[in-house]
């Protein structure tokens, strides 16, 4: 008889490591290139100027700024203060009024039903406790309100990149892939029957000077890749670089020496029932 028990997942430690990863590099360098996704998401949820909006795991504020440009009342949150500071700088530059507040997506410091619209672009999907994060999004959204998300898909460019990184730096045992948030079937398991889910596959097109330029940029500024290379010895680092190079070569459609890679993501609109 096997009397061994499975050790509980230490979500607090995992979250601490993730926070350190996103604090490394400078995600804002990458994030600003994704601004069009925030604009598209605000259109998808049919955002109105008289609505109160929460951007969760906002990073450097793409959805935040898009909502503020539409004259909504916006609260922008992230658990990495340095990223919120970059979002503040962007909002000030564009003369947009936004309230910024450090907050954990799994424990949002707001009363039930506080917001008409809750947004997240490539943010909430990285929480270690997916069920808790989904519950919090639903909790702070008012009945009749909407939750809008942009999530990388499992089989898209970034989903494939995550799989490569996972070969060299495995995820903590028992945790789920962030890319599951880009799968419609998984979303139905996260959000209860008190909601209707509409999801559409879209592409964000990565455009860089070359394959090498993309890799140098992400290796310098994208936290998960920064941490992955830092965790490997020289030989393993070269192998990871070679695998990423091969992925870039396979997916690059430019044909002129630059890099143009369509990156699939799922644009999701969840309508909370009354």
Residues 11-205+263-272: name the CATH superfamily: Vaccinia Virus protein VP39 (3.40.50.150)
Single pTM value for the model: 0.92
- Look at residue 2 in the predicted model and tell me its pLDDT: 44
Give the dihedral sign, CA 76/82/83/86: positive
Domain boundaries, the chain: 11-205+263-272
Q: Are strands 52-55 and 73-78 parallel, antiparallel or unpaired?
A: parallel
Series of mean pLDDT values for 10-residue runs along the chain (274 residues) = 51 71 80 97 98 97 98 97 95 98 97 98 95 97 98 98 95 87 96 91 98 97 93 97 98 98 98 92
Residues 6+ apart with CB under 8 A from 121: 34, 37, 38, 41, 59, 62, 63, 149, 150
Rounded to whole angstroms, the Cα distance separating 256 from 19 reads 38
- Reduced to 3 states, what is the DSSP secondary structure of residue 259? strand
For 207, half-sphere exposure in the C-beta direction (CA atoms, 13 angstrom radius) is 7
């Amino acid at each position: 008889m096997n009397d061994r028990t499975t050790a509980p997942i230490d979500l607090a430690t995992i979250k601490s490591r993730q926070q350190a990863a996103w604090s490394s590099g400078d995600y804002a360098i990458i994030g600003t290139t994704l601004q069009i996704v925030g604009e598209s998401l605000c259109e998808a949820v049919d955002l109105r100027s008289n609505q109160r909006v929460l951007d969760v795991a906002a990073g450097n504020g793409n959805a935040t700024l898009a909502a503020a440009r539409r004259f909504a009342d916006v609260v922008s949150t992230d658990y990495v203060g340095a990223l919120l500071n970059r979002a503040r700088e962007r909002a000030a530059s564009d003369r947009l009024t936004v309230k910024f507040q450090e907050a954990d997506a799994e424990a949002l410091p707001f009363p039930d039903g506080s917001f008409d619209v809750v947004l997240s672009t490539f943010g909430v999907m990285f929480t270690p406790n997916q069920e808790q994060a989904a519950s919090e999004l639903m909790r702070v959204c008012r009945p009749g309100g909407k939750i809008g998300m942009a999530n990388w898909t499992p089989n898209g460019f970034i989903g494939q990149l995550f799989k490569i990184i996972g070969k060299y730096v495995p995820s903590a045992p028992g945790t789920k892939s962030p890319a599951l948030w880009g799968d419609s079937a998984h979303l139905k398991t996260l959000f209860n029957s008190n909601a209707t889910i509409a999801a559409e596959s879209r592409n964000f097109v990565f455009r860089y000077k070359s394959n090498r330029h993309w890799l140098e940029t992400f290796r310098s500024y994208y936290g998960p890749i920064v941490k992955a290379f830092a965790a490997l010895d020289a030989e393993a680092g070269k192998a990871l670089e070679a695998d990423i190079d091969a992925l870039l070569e396979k997916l690059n459609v430019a044909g002129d020496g630059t890099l143009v890679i369509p990156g699939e993501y799922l644009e999701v609109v969840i309508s909370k029932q009354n």
